[in-house]
């Protein structure tokens, strides 16, 4: 595999894993009843969204 293709594949794998984490964190956030646990789940959601954004930014920088 050449380097750009390999890098694209790595970003694809990273985004897939982050998407799984995000979906599970959102499910937890919706199902939890106590405020402290819901706040932790919400923090995970926020952090994963930021990680996805950072991965997209890095991917765009490598494309240019």
Q: What is the pLDDT of residue 56?
A: 93
Number of domain units in the chain: 1
- Quick one: pLDDT at residue 1? 43
How far apart CA 15 and CA 51 sit, in angstroms, is: 9
Beta strands in the chain (DSSP E): none
Task: Give per-residue pLDDT as tens, 22-42.
Answer: 999 999 999 999 999 999 999
Give residue 53's region: left, alpha or beta (phi > 0; psi -120 to 50).
Answer: alpha
Average pLDDT over residues 2-20: 87
Please give the DSSP secondary-structure letter assigned to residue 39: H
pTM: 0.82
> Which range of residues forms the domain containing residue 45?
3-63
Count the neighbouring beta carbons within 10 Å of the beta carbon of residue 25: 20
């Amino acid at each position: 595999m050449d380097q750009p293709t390999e890098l694209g594949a790595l970003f694809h794998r990273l985004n897939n894993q982050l998407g799984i984490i995000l979906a599970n964190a959102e499910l937890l956030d919706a199902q939890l009843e106590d405020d402290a646990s819901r706040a932790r789940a919400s923090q995970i959601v926020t952090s994963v969204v930021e990680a996805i954004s950072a991965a997209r930014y890095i991917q765009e920088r490598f494309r240019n």
